[in-house]
Amino acid sequence: MSRTVRKFAKRNTHLRKRQTQDAYLLICTECFSLYPPRYFSGQFAVFRMCRPCQRKNVELCSYLEKYVYEPLREKRWEPFQVRLDRLASKCEELENELKDYKRKYCEPESTAEIMIDNKVEEMLDELLDKCAELESERWNARRPTRKMSQDDFNQRMFELYNKNTKQTDAEVLESQLSS
């Protein structure tokens, strides 16, 4: 068998294999075109986004790779405080970017746009406040409590007793004087 005959035989077997693989077609979710499965690679086979659409929608593809299909598993073990700090820093960055954007590009705004911007700023501030509260709560929970003196302990027990029996101070004094 000559070299060209082997070449054609190889090509024909390859084409036959490809035809059997292409027995079914998938629809791209972006352009609604039919493509054989080989046009969908990796995780995008689930989402069914063809290669031309992947090239057109780079932001969407990077988002899908990062957050939907391949989440960062190695960061799940990180302690709560590290994730909280990261969230707080992202909120601060978003707030700064919003202020920079407004300063550079925004013209005098309508009242609706001003209200939306104020609401966004308030939400970011609330997120930062919540992060700070959580951090302070965790810090206070870790801090060792001071040892109570005997007077503080007695006063606390007295308050708890009064709270449980629902007696006023006058009633307590009367009961102590009568006994």
- Per cent of the chain over pLDDT 70 is 59
Alpha-carbon span 122 to 120, nearest angstrom: 5
Alpha-carbon span 42 to 46, nearest angstrom: 8
Q: Distance of CA 45 to CAs 9, 33, 98, 166, Å?
A: 31, 14, 36, 68
Identify the DSSP state of 149.
Answer: P
* Tokens linked to 2: 């000559």
Alpha-carbon span 8 to 2, nearest angstrom: 10
| Residue, of 73 and 176, whose pLDDT is higher | 176
Nearest to 137 by CA among 80, 179, 89, 177: 80
Burial (CB count <10 Å: 0-12, 13-18, 19+), residue 28:
buried
Got the DSSP string for 60-112?
HHHHIIIIIIS--GGGTTS-HHHHHHHHHHHHHHHHHHHHHHHHHH--SPPHH
Residue 135's pLDDT band (boundaries 50, 70, 90)?
A: confident
CA dihedral 87, 90, 91, 96 (to 10 degrees): 160
pLDDT at 23 over 70: no
Number of C-beta neighbours around residue 34 at 10 A: 11
Q: pLDDT at position 109, please?
A: 66
Number of C-beta neighbours around residue 91 at 10 A: 18
Its pTM stands at 0.27
- Interval 72-101 mean pLDDT: 73
Q: At what angle do helices 80-105 and 111-142 cross, to 10 degrees?
A: 160
For the chain, which residues make up each domain, given as ranges?
A: 42-71, 78-142
Q: pLDDT at position 173, please?
A: 63
Identify the DSSP state of 43.
Answer: T
